[in-house]
Chains A and B, each alone.
Chain A
C-alpha cells in the first residue's frame, strides 16, 4: 500500500454534497493515489436525510456516493486505492448494503466495506436530557427546551479513531455518519502510521491536512483572491496531501490538471471558516494554526510543517437541526432607465400591499441584484446599473402567510412601473427553514460502532 518511504497520498474529491461529479473519477484515474476521501455532509444535510429515512427505512445516506463507487470500483481495485467518506448520513448500514450489492454485481468478492456509526443520537435525546446533558446552545447559551419539540436530527461529531479501526480491520471502503470533515484524512494516517490517541502534534498535523483538503478545489485555485493567476478552470486539479509519518506533508495536485497550488492558495484555505486560530477544536485534538509553517516545494507543491497540537477536550460537538419555520424567495427584473428607483417602488408596493392585507412577517429581505441581463453592452460598465433584479423574501412560522407572500410578485408586471419582467418559474413556494443548534455531549456517553463486512460470492 504505502511507498518505501511510507509516503501516503491522500486526496479529497468532494468538498460537499453537490461538488463536481467528475473530480473523484479524475483523481483515481489521472495519477497515483493511496486514499480518496469524500465529504458529503453539511449541518442541514442530516435533517434532509432523516426525513428521507422516515419515508423509506433503506434511505438516509448519500446515494450519489454509491453511484460513484459503481463507476470507480474497478480502478480502485486495480490501483489499490482505499476510500473514506462520510456518505453514511443517518443510515450507514443501508449505504453499506447498497455498496455490497454494487460489489457483488461487479464480482468483487473479498472486498471489505466498513461502517462507523453511533453518531446518531436522535432517538436517545430524551434519555440523555434525563441523565443530565443540558444540550444548551453553544453559541448563545439558550436552553434546549426552546427547540426540543421541533428537532429533526441530532448527530455527534465523532473522532477519527473508529474509522482508523475499520481500515486496520482491512476495510477498502469506510463509510461513516457524522465524522468531522478533516477526520476523513486523519483516519488513514492513524491507521497507517499507528499514531497514538495522545500524539497531539501528529493528530494536529493530520487535522490541518484535512482542513486544507476538506473543501476540494478551494486550496488548488478555487476561490483564490488573485483569480487572474489561475488557469485551467475547466479541469481544476483536486488536492492531494503527500503525508509522512512525522506529520509533515506536501499539498499538491495531479500533473497536467488545471488550477494553482502556492503558499497563498494554501494560506487562504487555512483561514477558511476559522474561529480562534490557536484553538481549532476537533474530537481528536486541539490544533494550533498559529504554529503552521508553509514553504514552496516546487511548482504546485507546498510543504506544511511545524504544527503543534494540544490535548482534546472531554466533550464531542453535537449538531442538532430543527424546524424553524418556512420561507419563500422570489424575484422580478426591473430594466432601466431609472431601474433602481423603480425597483424600490416595486418593493414598497409588495410590502405595502401585504400590510394592507394584514400580512406581516417575522423576517423579510429586500435586495437589488444585477448588471447586464436585459441591455447587454448598452448598460454594461455604466456608472448606473441598467437593470436591477429585485429579490424579495420572507420567513415566518406560519406557512399560510409565506404562501400569501408568493402571490404578491406577479401582479407587479402589470401594476407597477414600466420595464418590470423576469417573473418566471411560477409563484415562490414556501419551503422549510431548518435551524442549526450546535451543542456538546460528554465523550463518555457516546459509543461508536465499527462493522467491517466482506463481500461474498
Chain B
C-alpha cells in the first residue's frame, strides 16, 4: 500500500449546508471510486478535519457521478452571518479534504492530469 493526496484521485467542491458545510468529492476513475467508497469513511473525514468539524459527518454516495457527498455538521461556528470565521460558508472545506493522504494499492495509478504546474501536491 502507498499513500497519495486525495487531490490526485478526485476533485471536490464545498459550500454551506444547514448548520455546517458539505463537501462533494468526485473520483476521476472507477478504480479510484472503488477505493474511496471503502476507504474514505465519515470517521476518517471527521478525524482529518479535527477541531474544524464539531458535529458528526454524514456520507451520501452518488455513483452516477463517481461522487461521495459529505455533510460536515457544526463546522462553521454558527454559519452565514452568525459565524466569526474567515471561512464562514465552508468554501475552502473542499480543498481542505483534497489535502488528505489516502491509502491506495501500490499498483493504483493516480490521475496524470490532476497536478497543478509547479503545484504543492
Contacts and interface: CB of A to CB of B under 8 A. Distances in A.
Nearest to A321: B81
A225 B12 contact: yes
Interface in A380-397: 391, 393-395
A123 interface: no
Interface in A205-260: 218, 223-229
A267 B65 contact: yes
B13 A391 contact: no
A139 B19 contact: yes
Given A274-B17, A363-B78, A226 B63 contact: no
Given A264-B11, A267-B26, A391-B86, A290 B62 contact: yes
B98 interface: yes
Given A264-B26, A271-B24, A273-B17, A436 B80 contact: yes
A258 to B, nearest CB: 19
A286 to B, nearest CB: 15
Contacts of B24: 268, 270-272, 274
B41 interface: no
Interface centre among A140, A218, A226, A292 (most CB of B within 10 A): A226
**Contact-residue size bin, chain B (C-beta under 8 Å from the other chain):** 35 or more
Contacts of B114: 225-226
Interface in B70-121: 71, 77-82, 84-86, 94-95, 98, 113-114, 116-117, 119
Nearest to B68: A271
Contacts of B79: 436
Contact of A363 (B26, B81, B84, B86): B84
Interface centre among A43, A223, A225, A434 (most CB of B within 10 A): A225
Contacts of B7: 225
Given A275-B71, A438-B18, A294 B65 contact: yes
Interface stretch (A3-11, A364-372, A442-450): A364-372
Nearest to A269: B13
Contacts of A290: 62-64
Interface in A337-393: 363-365, 367, 369, 391, 393
A433 B11 CA distance: 34
Contact of B84 (A289, A293, A329, A434): A329
A75 interface: no
Contact of A275 (B22, B63, B84): B22
Contact of A278 (B16, B18, B60): B60
Contacts of A269: 13
Contacts of A434: 80-82
B26 A271 contact: yes
B81 A223 contact: no
A292 B64 contact: yes
The 8 A-B residue pairs with the shortest CB-CB distance in the complex, in nearest-first order: A271-B24, A225-B11, A365-B84, A393-B84, A273-B15, A268-B13, A277-B62, A44-B81
Interface of A: 43-44, 139-140, 218, 223-229, 264, 267-278, 289-294, 324, 327, 329, 363-365, 367, 369, 391, 393-395, 433-436, 438
5 contacts: A224-B11, A229-B113, A264-B26, A276-B60, A391-B86
